[in-house]
Amino acid sequence: MANCEHTFIAIKPDGVQWGLVGEIIKRFEQKRFHLVGLKFMQASEDLLKEHYIDLKDRPFFVGLVKYMHSGPVAAMVWEGLNVVKTGRVMLRETNPVDSKPGTIRGDFCIQIGRNIIHGSDSVESAEKEIGLWFHPEELCQEDGVVVRGRYGIRQWIFMVRFCFILVLLF
């Protein structure tokens, strides 16, 4: 069964520098995901250290934080059916050499240390990352509930029409 969920996507400094923000947003919108949060910001070192805390003992940790702090980041929250898993498929492998053409990293990346984009790898990670990068009031909300957007309305209209046709046929 499909799940409506949220994911955190960050376009890294090299992706911002190369002018890929619009193209990446376009790809997520073409999949009919709904953008509910967007920040263009210079991430603090403290935020980045907390975001990558699970990598703190890895030899590349210091360089990763330095790279992510080297320029602005486009931080986003996307909503949709199975958006975490689908988002990871759209990004593909961390190492661009292993990513196929047609994926974000396959089309735009050339080296592992500069892979232009981050995406949550699980629903649990997404919740944690969204909480780090966004305050609840920064997400598009209506009465405390994240707006379902056009996707939910279209799905509802389709179901109403489908049921109406079934009633007419029988």
Binding positions are 12, 60, 88, 94, 105, 115
Say how far apart CA 167 and CA 80 lie, in whole Å.
30
Catalytic residue among 6, 34, 51, 118: 118
Largest alpha-carbon pair distance within the chain? 67
Q: Which residues are annotated as a binding site for ATP?
A: 12, 60, 88, 94, 105, 115
6 is catalytic: no
- 156 CB neighbour count, 10 Å cutoff: 11
Chain Cα centroid distance, residue 44: 20
CB 137 within 8 A of CB 51: no
The catalytic residue positions are 118
